[in-house]
Amino acid sequence: MRFTDKVALVIGGNSGIGLAAAEGLAAEGAHVFITGRSEKTLAEAEAVVPGSSAFRCDIADPDTLRPALDAIRDRRGRIDVLVVNAGIGLFAPLRDVTPAIWDEVHGVNLRGCFFAIQKALPLMGKGGSIVVTGSIGAVLAIPGNTVYAAAKAGLRALVRIIAVELVGEGIRVNMVSPGPTETPIIYRSGLDEAGIAGLRTMMEDNVPMHRMGTPEEIARSMLFLASDEASFVTGIDMFVDGGSVELR
């Protein structure tokens, strides 16, 4: 029960890794608030995460986070754990990338994450922990992944700098970078059914463990970094990827 009476906000907690993190936090005693873009999956998440409250929020528009933050301020007065998990994926070769594609992905995966942290920060204080979902794509040269990789690489730099800025305030900031993981994001990659099947095969073949990870496996690392067990850890990028980076 590492999070007894802690207050946690999971941005993008309505599916996949974020939902697994929200479930884990609640199971260990946290009061969990969840945001996401889909009313349907938010309702589903609220039903499976005990005692949680869900709010519709599009991270690409930071102002839409206000109702969730207002509710946290009114009901609990603070945020102890902030998980920034919202993200979108899109594969496109160099010649097919448009300014609209670039802005859509970066608006969520980089700009949106930055301003979400900025807006939540007034509710955080000494002992607080921020965990951001990155990607091993930030450090791997994967064809067709320029837009997504650039956003996640920027997010990786952002996490390190914010960690430096907040270390004096007693707030830790870390990143977990998953490898190929069984989440709905693969079906929102812009690929057709055959492309998705090919992508899955390619990813599994390139993982030394020869399988994809589960959301729960990624979430366990996030909960470790969010907890006091990691009290002397800040600014790191933890690869949870079946050896995809370190064993290549």
Active site residues: 148
Rounded distance between C-alpha atoms, residue 218 and residue 220, angstroms: 6
How many CB atoms within 10 Å of residue 105? 25
Dihedral pair phi/psi, residue 89, rounded to 5°: -120, 145
Rounded distance between C-alpha atoms, residue 216 and residue 17, angstroms: 7
- Chain centroid to Cα 108, Å, comes to 11
Rounded distance between C-alpha atoms, residue 223 and residue 21, angstroms: 7
Rounded distance between C-alpha atoms, residue 237 and residue 219, angstroms: 14
Rounded distance between C-alpha atoms, residue 51 and residue 4, angstroms: 13
Rounded distance between C-alpha atoms, residue 169 and residue 234, angstroms: 12
Dihedral pair phi/psi, residue 137, rounded to 5°: -60, -20
Length of the chain counted residue by residue: 248
- For 207, residues 6+ apart whose C-beta sits below 8 A from its C-beta are 179, 180, 241, 242, 243, 244
Rounded distance between C-alpha atoms, residue 8 and residue 84, angstroms: 11
